[in-house]
């Protein structure tokens, strides 16, 4: 199956090589499919990847993850199958068998075939106790850490954080499928790996921005989402149950 693997990255060249690119190499992914969308401040550094991965594509992107995701959406043609993966993903875990996913290319192709014209994802954590352990359609969270979608030019993100929630909602409002493979989890370190968004803001500033974006989501989509607040003060977004005909 034809698809593109897209990796937004900022100030994480060494982690990108040690983690996500190592993961793709382990699965024998054709690096002609792989596009690194590098933050403009560190774009030239990423070109060194060509020495080890001559087939890889290095693209100068925009500042900010929301702008970068919109740039990616404009870069490829309508209908392109896109797999987005963060630059610091250590592994994808088959939670049914407590082991690494065995064949990434096969999993990606199967996920696109099952999902159809929309967006699909996996569990955010490699822990079966926090996962549904099943394939499920319907309005639900899909973390941008690892997800796939059929590119749609009507998607336009406006949030600097929690933009993955907004993208799911926009696909839902366009009548596209939302599909989650709950038996696969992502092994990474959310909020703690240096580089990326951590380069520009500390935990406190990021929490303030997340709370602001959570308020915007609730205001923009009151029929689809509600909030929950953690003891730390951090606001989370949850989807309301939607009945489908």
CA separation for the pair 78, 76 (Å, rounded): 7
The whole-number pLDDT of residue 113 equals: 98
DSSP 173: H
pLDDT band at 193 (very low <50, low <70, confident <90, very high): low
Per CATH, the number for 4-239 is 3.90.550.10
The whole-number pLDDT of residue 198 equals: 46
The whole-number pLDDT of residue 201 equals: 75
The whole-number pLDDT of residue 243 equals: 63
- Phi and psi for 136 in degrees, rounded to 5? -145, 130
DSSP letters along 34-52, please?
EEEEE-TTTHHHHTTHHHH
pLDDT digits 0-9 by tens, 195-245: 454 456 787 888 999 999 999 999 999 999 999 999 999 999 999 988 655
* pLDDT for 191 beyond 70: no
Average pLDDT taken over every residue of the chain:
94
Question: Residue 145 class from Cβ within 10 Å (0-12 exposed, 13-18 middle, 19+ buried)?
Answer: middle
Q: What is the dihedral of CA 4, 7, 8, 10, to 10 degrees?
A: -150
C-alpha count within 13 angstroms, C-beta hemisphere, residue 108: 23
């Amino acid at each position: 199956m034809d698809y593109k693997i897209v990796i937004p990255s900022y100030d994480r060249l060494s982690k990108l090589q040690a983690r996500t690119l190592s993961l793709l190499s382990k699965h024998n992914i054709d690096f002609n499919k792989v596009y690194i969308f590098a933050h403009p401040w560190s774009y030239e550094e990423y070109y060194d990847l060509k020495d080890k991965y001559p087939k890889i594509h290095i693209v100068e992107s925009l500042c900010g993850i929301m702008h970068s995701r919109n740039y990616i959406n404009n870069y490829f043609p309508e209908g392109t199958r896109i797999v987005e993966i963060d630059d610091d993903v250590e592994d994808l875990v088959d939670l049914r068998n407590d082991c690494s996913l065995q064949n990434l290319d096969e999993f990606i192709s199967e996920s696109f075939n099952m999902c159809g014209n929309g967006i699909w994802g996996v569990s955010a954590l490699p822990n079966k106790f926090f996962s549904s352990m099943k394939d499920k359609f319907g309005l639900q969270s899909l973390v941008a850490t690892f997800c796939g979608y059929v590119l749609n030019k009507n998607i336009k993100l406006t949030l600097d954080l929690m933009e993955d929630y907004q993208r799911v909602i926009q696909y839902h409002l366009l009548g596209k499928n939302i599909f989650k493979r709950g038996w696969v989890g992502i092994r990474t370190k959310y909020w703690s790996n240096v580089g990326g968004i951590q380069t520009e803001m500390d935990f406190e500033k990021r929490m303030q921005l997340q709370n602001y974006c959570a308020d915007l989501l609730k205001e923009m989509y009151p029929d689809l989402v509600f909030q929950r607040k953690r003891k730390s003060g951090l606001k989370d977004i949850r989807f309301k149950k939607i009945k489908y005909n």
